[in-house]
Structure 1
Amino acid sequence: MKYLLTLIMPLMLMMSACEQTEYVVPNRTVVVDIRASDWVTYDRGYTWETPVDLPEYDDYNNDEGAILVYRSLDNRNYEQIPQVYNGFAYSYVATAGSIKIEAQSAGASIIIDRPAAMTVKIVLIDSNY
C-alpha cells in the first residue's frame, strides 16, 4: 500500500503543477452628468433623447466588446438601463463614439414631461477573443 502511494503521490503533484494561463481584460467606466435641459424631443414629447459623446467606445468595442449603462437620480444608487421607472421606459443605442439615451412612456403612445437630470455610468467591457 505504501509502495502504491509513493508512486501515485508524485504523479498527483505533477498533474496539479500544470501552468494555467488566465487573461484579465480590464473594463473602463465613464460617468456623465446629464442635465434636464440636455433632453430633446423630435416627436412633440412622445420620446426624449440625449446624446452622450463617448470617444472611448470605438469601432473595435462596438464590434467585439460590450457596453453596460446605468442611471442614477441621486448620485448614489445606480439602476441598469433598459428599465422602466415612474412610467418612463429608458433605453439606449450605442454607436462608435457615442451613445443615445432615450426615455418614453411605458404605456401606449403618451406624451411625457422632460426627464429629470441624472448621472449616467457607462461600463465598457473589452473582449480578447
Structure 2
Amino acid sequence: MKKILTLICCTIVLAATSCKKEYVSTSPSATTIFDTTPAFVLDNSSNPGSIHGYTTTLAVPEITDYYNNHGAVLVYLDDNGTYEQLPDVYDGISYRFVYTKGTLYIDAQNADGSVPTAAPPALKLKIVLVP
C-alpha cells in the first residue's frame, strides 16, 4: 500500500513540476474621439458600389495595416454621452462604416434603404483600435 501511495505522490509531483507558465502581454487599445465629422456628401450614382445615400471620409492615420490583418476597428456614435456601436439606426437613418489603411468611411441612408431627404448632421464619434 505504501508503494502505491508513494507512486501516486511521485506522479502528482512530477506532473505539477512539468507545467510551463506562459505570459502573454498585449498592448492596450487606442481610442480616438472626433468631435465632429466632415460634411456628408450625396453618393446616389448608378455606379456599382454606390450606397445610394450619404458618405463622409475621415483621415485616421492610426489605422495601419496591422489592424487590417490582426486587429479590430470599432466605431461608436455619441448620443449625448451615451455611445452606440456602428452599424446602428439612429433617428431613422442607418449608419455603417468601412475602413482601410489610414481612412474611415461612414455611410448613411434611410433605414429602408432609400436616400435621406437631407444630409445627416455632423456626428461625434469614438474610434477604438483593438490590437
Common topology (TM > 0.5): yes
- Give CA deviations for 1:50-71 in whole Å, capped at 9, x if unaligned: 2222111112322332211111
TM-score (norm 1): 0.75
> Which residue pairs with 1:19 in the alignment?
20
Distance in 1, Cα, partners of 2:34 & 2:12: 53
Equivalences for residues 1-129 of structure 1 within 5 A: 1=1, 3-17=3-17, 18-26=19-27, 27-35=29-37, 38-43=38-43, 47-74=53-80, 76-126=81-131
Maintained 8 Å contact 2:42/2:119: no
Distance in 2, Cα, partners of 1:65 & 1:22: 20
Q: Match of 1:78, SS? A: strand
Gapped regions of structure 2 (runs ≥ 5): 45-51
Cα deviation for residue 28 of structure 1 reads 1.9
Cα deviation for residue 2 of structure 1 reads 5.3
Q: Match of 2:59, SS? A: strand
Residues 31/6 of structure 1: CA separation in 2 closer, same or farther (3 Å cut): farther
Maintained 8 Å contact 2:73/2:127: yes
Gapped regions of structure 1 (runs ≥ 5): none
Q: Match of 1:4, SS? A: helix
- Aligned identity (percent) is 35
Residues 77/6 of structure 1: CA separation in 2 closer, same or farther (3 Å cut): farther
Highest Rg: 1 or 2? 2
Maintained 8 Å contact 1:104/1:112: no
Distance in 2, Cα, partners of 1:112 & 1:20: 60
